[in-house]
Structure 1
Amino acid sequence: MKITNYLLSALLMGTFACNSNPTKEKAEETKEPNIVIIFADDMGYGDLGTYGATQWETPNLDKLAHDGTRFTQFYVPHAVCSASRAALLTGAYANRLEIFGALDHSAKHGLNLEETTIAEMLKKKGYHTGIVGKWHLGHQPEFLPSQQGFDSYFGLPYSNDMWPHHPETKDYYPPLPLYEGDSVIKYLDEQSQLTTWYTEKAVSFIEENKEGPFFLYLAHSMPHVPLYVSDKFKGKSEQGLYGDVMMEIDWSVGQVRSKLEELGLADNTLIIFTSDNGPWLSYGGHAGTTGGLREGKGTSLDGGIRVPAIFTWPGHIPADKEQAQPAMTIDIFPTIAALTDSKLPDLKIDGRNIWPLIEGEKMEEKPYYAYYNRNELQAVIYGKWKVVYPHRYRTIPEGTEMRNDGFPVNYLYLEFEKKELYDMENDPSETTDVKDKYPEVMAQMDSLANIARADMGDALNKMDGPGLRKHGTIEEEK
């Protein structure tokens, strides 16, 4: 594999962002499409039938995949909630925006208002914008969705386990608030109706904005623990509660598609389905599956950052396509910008327009970076290659008896003591280090890593970067 030209191009341009628009013909075909992003929480790569799930059924999601393009190597840049959501909504690595980890009720900061979200970009094009579900980019009034381009909001300000019933920290969290707009409408003591409420609000948003165009961001709280399911799906799966929850999320997707079809909007609506990171494996039977990938949430191994991803738009995206070329959630923002002829932000972003990939075609390879903790560059992905750099990571100790009651087992923390290179095409489980076999590839991967470090720094190498920006704080925004 030759990447010298890409390295030279990246060095000269100083950015990996791409603002290429579709062809004139394609732009005419995609005038003002409605856009629906459905974002699951802690859903594993192997949790959908079309990705190999066998103990529960996901017919609506399987049909969504059949009707469009299914990615087999789609990534999030951060295997944790807030950071992953910041990257999705802005098209930039969250460490560039100083958003790390998972913000809780004590956070005094959030996504800086100077950053542009997908909602803010589309509002300038006349879109009605709504979020239903989990926000997690700052719960203070200064950072709620209404301040970030959304016309309406119904959901939780952070993760559904950040409440007094947390199995490990019962005295830390306050009551869990449910928001509508900028106001708390109730505090939750149980969550069995949460997916149903989200679905009803999503369907109502579509109905209310059927004249369009609209952007709906449906960010499910499930299947993040604690798991809750309505009576409609309780006991429906072979696996148990997790499978029941997955079947209810699948039902929710079906309800959204049915409403679009009922209103005659399906042919003018792009639906994107993906997850914020991989499964929280320490919760055993209350966690999803990685489909054979290594480790899970909270790691930069593929079980933590490779997620299912489906793009469907009848008449515009070919049916029953599979895309094996890598892409990442940071690419969704610039792709939507290109489809809607929207201007990209003045502040640098990191994604590119991947419309050709969504159509099942090939594009020039691009490096993708996996960050965790406070600006640690832990891995680089380029085509079929992936390098993992020395860092501390977590795993389930071999022989651990897993639980199925909503309580986690303890992680064991280990060190990657040396960098390792994997051929992901032939070794998707990341078992065999091949850097000695491919020294030229290893050198080129190091060069790609150094470009990112020169821009955004790397805490593992005690490097700061000139491309970093500040998150918003209460003091700054007042």
Structure 2
Amino acid sequence: MKKILLLGLLAVAATLKAADKPNIIIYYADDISAREFPIYGSKVWTDPMREDTTDPIYRAKTPVMDRLAEQGVWIKTAWAACVCNPSRAMMMSGRYAYIHKWWNNKDKGVSIDDRGKMGTWPVYESSPLLLGHVAQKAGYGTYWAGKTQMAGEYAKHGFDEGCFTPGGLSDQDNPYTDFKHEYQKINGEKTLINVDTGKVADTYWQHGWYWYPHVKLMNHPTDAGKTVWWPNTKKSRKEFGLHTYGPDVEMEFTLDFMERKHEEGKPFLIYHTTHLGHDAFNWFDPESKSKWPGTPIVRWDGEKYKRIQPRITGDEGNYNTHGTVTPSGIHNHVNYIDYQIWQYQQKLEEMGEADNTVIIICADNGTSGYGKNSGEKQKGCHIPMIIYAPGMKKQGEQDVLMSVADIMPTVAELVGFEIPKDYAVDGESVVPFLFSDKPEHRQWIYAHRGPEQLIRGQKVLKDGRDKWWNVAESPDDLISFSEIKNWNSVLETHREEREELLEILPEFDLYYDEHEAPGVPSQLGKKKFPRYARKTKS
């Protein structure tokens, strides 16, 4: 068996060496469960009010990604963490929270900087080899587009340039758009105000990252060495307006970067962390109770997409979209992702790079209202995962286990960077599985939600509520597993796998013992954290 595997790995190396260094596009969607992608075949998905539905009107249509999933692969069981921040840390670093200390969105380990100030420990300090860094070290041009949500300086994460629709609320100085919220004191109480209307906003504090968006450029040639608000030129300021859609701006700058690198003869890594999939305040309809503002209308004719140019008029919360914006719903966000993947494909064809580009499509956690920040079963961590790589042996559905932590070492292997043997990485490169006859990728996958520990193998799953589930069979809604209450009622193989998983967990279960950066006293007694299912250790 070892000889066969070795021959397979040598074949992989020969395939990659024979080709040019492959370009890599990682499209990391926001808050989208696997069940929202039609390729996963779930009988249930999400409606605009965040409820379960079987209504086909709310079913996404993804002809481009469906084809990509069949020509490439789609992973049946891929996991992230249960919510955004720790998933992004896991993706970038290839490590779990016991190392990087990003336990939950509002629950991160702290460090003390050179000035003696305590703050969130940046992932690039706990993990100096992020996926952008390994690509840079291999001679790649690197670009980061979309949502940021990472502590510290953008440029230290391993990217040459970036176009950001900032997720950080510290970015309050944008002079170009009033689609934002701010806190004001009214009758002595801190109150959230919609700056566009001046009225109280019944939502969470946010900026507009979709329509009339907040956009920052990092190290663009027009402002080399700087991070500046966009629009940043006379022409772009004239064209910017209510019709401007943040995901389109990201794509425009990303495709421009790809073309520039292509002309330089330099391979590129694109890390596209779109907001698409994330719920948001509807600035065009401030009273709306639906969760996902509409997108520009796109239509698929069987061969290509056509996008309808948005036209929006109005002001101060009273707007008319003139039929150029879709209704609300996460399905329309997934449809727009399909359109953007088509845009990538068109640009790659135009540049002659389609046969030398790896495309990875996944998401950071489950859908809002269904799985996001949930430790129940695998609702919070089961995500879509589509991979297309020229020359790969596998095609179509792959009933294997995969983690977003696997992406960083996968990128390292694809670009030809050897991770030092003494540098700890929790992820496992998926390259040997994709390019050989290797039947499995990994035996178990892990996720977390603060102190909650989730782990599953091929047969059993332990969730964040310390319940065990039989996952040997696949329910048609992807989640209705049978709970295991009596271990004598299942096969011996189930019991054996449970014992194996329980032996693995203690290595990662360091929330209470090592919550902060090394050398920093625990701050757990001084902070208010999200509610967790597990009881605090005594």
> What is the TM-score normalised by the length of structure 2?
0.66
- Secondary structure at 1:277's aligned position in 2? coil
Matching residue of 1:437: 489
Within the candidate set 107, 120, 130, 1:117 is matched to: 130
Partner of 2:253: 201
* 2:34 corresponding residue in structure 1: 45
| Alpha-carbon distance change, 147 to 100 in structure 1, aligned in 2, over 3 angstroms | same
Partner of 1:232: 297
Q: Which amino acid aligns with 2:229?
A: I
Distance 1:34 1:64, change over 3 A: same
How much has 1:246 moved relative to structure 2? Answer: 2.2
Deviation of 1:160 after TM superposition, in Å, equals: 8.9
Task: Say which SS state the counterpart of residue 452 (structure 1) adopts.
Answer: helix
* 1:421 has 2:434 as partner: no
Q: What aligned pairs does 1:213-252 form with structure 2 within 5 A after superposition?
A: 213-226=267-280, 227-233=292-298, 240-252=328-340
The secondary structure found in structure 2 opposite 1:218 is: strand
Tell me what 2:75 maps to.
Answer: 71
Deviation at 1:201, TM superposition (A): 1.5
Q: Could you say if the C-alpha distance between residues 169 and 191 of structure 1 is closer, same or farther in structure 2, counting changes exceeding 3 Å?
A: farther
Deviations 1:144-203 (A, max 9, x none): 331111000111342799952596556x56887532115240599979601111111221
CA separation of 1:241 and 1:465: change in aligned 2, threshold 3 A: closer
Classify 1:358/1:319 alpha carbon distance in 2 versus 1 (closer, same or farther; 3 Å): closer
Partner of 2:407: 332
- The percent identity for this pair of structures is 23
* Equivalent position SS for 1:338: helix
Q: What's the counterpart of residue 363 of structure 1?
A: 440
CA-based RMSD of the aligned residues comes to 3.5
Q: What is the rounded CA distance, in whole Å, between the counterparts of 2:31 and 2:410 in structure 1? A: 24
1:179 aligned to 2:216?
A: yes
Q: Which runs of 5+ in 1 are unaligned?
A: 1-19, 282-294, 392-417, 473-478
Shift of 1:241: 3.6
Paired residue type of 1:194: G
CA distance in 1, matches of 2:339, 2:406: 27
Q: Which string of whole-angstrom CA distances, capped at 9 and with x for unpartnered residues, describes residues 126-145 of structure 1?
A: 1000101112111xxxx233
Q: CA deviation at 1:381?
A: 0.9
How many residues are treated as equivalent by the alignment? 398
Contact 1:22 1:338 in 2 (8 A): no
Query: d(CA) in 1 for partners of 2:277 and 2:402?
Result: 23
Which of 75, 83, 92 is residue 95 of structure 2 equivalent to? Answer: 92
Hey, what does 1:448 align to over in structure 2? 501
Q: Quote the Cα distance in structure 2 between the aligned partners of 1:45 and 1:387.
A: 19
| Paired residues of 1:84 and 1:277 also in contact (CA < 8 A) | yes
Partner Cα distance (1:304, 1:319) in 2: 27
The equivalent residue for 1:133 is 146
Q: Distance in 2 between matches of 1:342 and 1:243?
A: 38
Matched-pair contact (CA < 8 Å) for 2:34–2:40? yes
Amino acid at match of 2:446: Y
The correspondence of residues 266-345 of structure 1 with structure 2, limited to 5 A, is 266-281=354-369, 295-300=370-375, 301-314=377-390, 316-318=391-393, 320-345=395-420
- Please, which of 40, 61, 65 is the counterpart of residue 61 of structure 1? 65
The structure that has the greater radius of gyration is 2
Instruction: Note the residue ranges of structure 2 that are not aligned, 5 or more in a row.
Output: 1-8, 46-55, 108-117, 172-179, 182-193, 195-199, 219-225, 232-239, 281-291, 299-309, 311-322, 521-538
Partner AA of 1:350 in structure 2: D
Partner amino acid, structure 2, of 1:317: M
Aligned residue in 2 for 1:412: none
